Amino acid sequence: MNEMPIDPDVIKLLDELGPPAPVSAADLTAEELRQGMRDAIAIFTCDAEPIAVHRVTDELVPGRNGEIPVRVYSPETPSSVIVYMHGGAWISGDIDTHDLVTRRLSRDTGAVVVSVDYRMLPEHPFPAPFDDACDAVAWAGALRPDLPFLVAGDSAGGTLAACVALRARDEHGPRIDAQVLVYPGIDDDLEAPSMLAFRDGPRISLDDLRFFLQQYASHEAALGSPYALPGRATSLAGLPPAVVVIAGHDLLRSSNEDYARRLRDAGVPVTVQLDPELVHGWIDFAPRVPSADRAFGRLTDSVNDLIGRVAG
């Protein structure tokens, strides 16, 4: 499916994690999955230079089910506000694992970045992660209503960002000017070409993905809901302009390409970034891999262009 091989630097870095686990995600506890992600992030970022942001604060914001922890990165002269949802298959990851990502996003775009520590599976099934994302977006939208307002996220966080944009459209608010979707989960079509081409990975196998989707999107409250998986939406018309980032060696590639195409066909301005030599999760190891670092630069260039267009 992909003519360009995986970047050798990516392979070398992933080798530092050790051989693929002999068990699937379904055989691990939630805490084992979370610790595994923390350990991987420590390897991916061990040589990273500190990224300074003018002000960083941890806050608790009101949600329908209690307070939601967020981390707010504020430059001196902000260009926009971006609400960011981290990846981790709705089970792992948090505002600490993605601190370097959100710091760089704030530095390179000049945005106030609000990183959301939403509730996760299995303790909090759908719609809890989605509700927290929506409530954090509603809170952040009031921070600087004079500035462009974006939702963003990677992997499972990209799913949440896309779904928040859908509900904001359907319910006529809050105002969202743009969406940034980094290799998001879009649907549960496990027979798509990329699902079969990359069924054994890298980073995530088809069996792992099936388990994550069963945990997240097979819950009774999620069945058929476009607010669980945005590919289920019957229409994408009226959604805000989007940046869609696609990794070449990724189970989710086909669904990402299809969603970008559907957005464009619905009249939504779309910027597609395909990184053919990279794998799912590359944004986390940009500090260690030059091609991932360049891809991060292309991403922030696209976000800056998007901010300029929606501000104009």
**Contacts of residue 124, Cβ cutoff 8 Å, sequence gap at least 6:** none
Q: CA-CA distance, 167 to 178, in Å (whole number)?
A: 14
145: left (phi over 0), alpha (psi -120 to 50) or beta: alpha
Residue 99 CB coordination number (10 Å): 18
Structure tokens at 3: 């003519």
Residue 106, CA atoms < 13 Å, CB-side half-sphere = 27
Q: CA-CA distance, 299 to 84, in Å (whole number)?
A: 14
CA-nearest of 211, 210, 289 to 247 is: 289
Which residues are designated catalytic?
155, 250, 280
